[in-house]
Amino acid sequence: MTQSQQDFYNCSYPELVEILERDFAASKFRATQLFEWVYRKGVTDFSQMTNIGRDLRARLEQGFCFPRATVHDRQISQDGTRKYLFEVDGGDLVEAVMIKQASRMTLCVSSQVGCAMACGFCRTGTMGLKRSLSTSEILQQVNGVIEDAKSFGDSFSNIVFMGMGEPLHNFDNVARAVRNLTNSIGYAMSPRKVTVSTSGLVPEIRRLVEEKVNVSLAVSLNASSDEVRTQVMPVNKRWPIKELLAAVRDFAQGTRKTVTIEYVMLGGLNDTRDDMKRLVRLLHGLPVKVNLIPYNDNAGLGFNSPTRDWVFEWQRHLNQHGLQAFIRWSKGADIAAACGQLATASKRQRPSRLPVLAGEAQAAA
């Protein structure tokens, strides 16, 4: 990439239209063609873009670059889950995971290197925030996985922002990535199949609605009382449960979407019978479904996993009280690709064990 070159993957469609008009005296139609070549057909070699004139192609080639994240490592779990370690700009390493489920494959991508939210049960939370990823670095994870998936003859059907980082703490870059993923001349994914998961940044949940970012929402509630939630999720001091659930209600009303409530079950701490009943009351009347996530002990942070029977008991109770509840058992545990296991690494300081994943994708869509 030369200094003056624009990273194509950092442009939304309207931004590309503007750049083409301003710097290339080219029409909107050219932006459409470029989006189609790059995202629909996967072509980044301008010489193949035969419906664009030779002269313009030559100038575009000077103007744009298409960076690729290098696959630093790839591990394959016995259950078919694949974990990718990508090297992005500046040598930072981030993880993306392809999670195999019965009828679909879900791609889980990272939005930041590290995370500022410091949740006590999450490996990523122990490392602090190093930096946010650009839109391009987010899409480069997607592109890298698409490329690699060819050798497996598969691809993903869903994308979740549940890898490293708090996506709504990187709002603009994540929103732009979502727009390109769901643009019909971009990756053309259904907005129902792209999910942003948040620890509960209330103003940014509202921004999703205001700025019409068409995406599914998952909220990591993870406790039924402010006392316990604040203990394990410091963000709760700023945005307590009541305000968070008010934002959930407004999001659901504003978008006519069902919101996924994630509940990591921390044995003995947030999964008592009282919690179960309180959760039913808290969520009463909200258009939500619940994903129960047994705490992943591989995170090694001193919490307990609930027993299988107790997880099923929770599911039964929620279902009986009119709440749709699903259980998200960890996938890819043998390659440390499951929930709450992602910790960072940099190229220069590689730990002896691979960094592990913070967020197994909860196929929330």
Q: Which of residues 329-358 bind ligand SAH (CB under 6 A)?
A: 339-340, 358
Cα separation, 93 vs 108, in Å, equals 15
Question: Closest separation between CB of residue 88 and ligand SAH, Å?
Answer: 17
* Active-site hit among 11, 108, 119, 339: 339
Cβ neighbours of residue 102 closer than 8 Å, sequence gap 6 or more: none
What would the x/- binding string for ligand SF4 be over residues 192 to 231, using CB under 6 A?
Answer: -------x--------------------x-----------
Task: Report the nearest approach of ligand SF4 to the CB of residue 123 (Å).
Answer: 8
Q: Which among 12, 60, 67 has a CA at the least distance from the CA of 187?
A: 12
Residues touching ligand SAH, count (CB under 6 A): 19
Rounded Cα distance between 38 and 46, Å, is 10
Is residue 220 involved in binding ligand SAH (CB under 6 A)?
yes
Of these, 31, 119, 174, 219, which contacts ligand SF4 (CB under 6 A)?
119
**Number of residues lying near ligand SF4 (CB under 6 A):** 13
- CA dihedral 251→252→256→262, nearest 10 degrees, is 110
Output 21 or 297, the one with its CB closest to ligand SAH: 297
Query: Should residue 296 be labelled a site residue for ligand SAH when binding is judged by CB under 6 A?
Result: yes
Q: Is 210 a catalytic residue?
A: no
Whether 211 sits among the annotated catalytic residues: the reply is no
Q: How far is CA 41 from the centre of its chain?
A: 24
107 binds, among ligand SF4, ligand SAH, none (CB under 5 to 8 A by kind): none
Query: Quick one: 180 or 260, whose CB is closer to ligand SAH?
Result: 260
- DSSP track, 172-206: HHHHHHHHHHH-TTTT---GGGEEEEES--HHHHH
Q: Which is nearer to ligand SF4, 115 or 279 (CB)?
A: 115
* Among 215, 218, 290, 358, interactor with ligand SF4 by CB under 6 A: 358
199 binds ligand SAH (CB under 6 A): yes
Alpha carbon distances (Å) from 94 to 12, 224, 354 = 23, 32, 11
Element (H, E) at 86: strand 82-87
**β 82-87/70-76 pair status:** antiparallel
Which residues form the interface with ligand SF4 (CB under 6 A)?
Answer: 115, 117-119, 122, 124-125, 165-166, 199, 220, 358-359
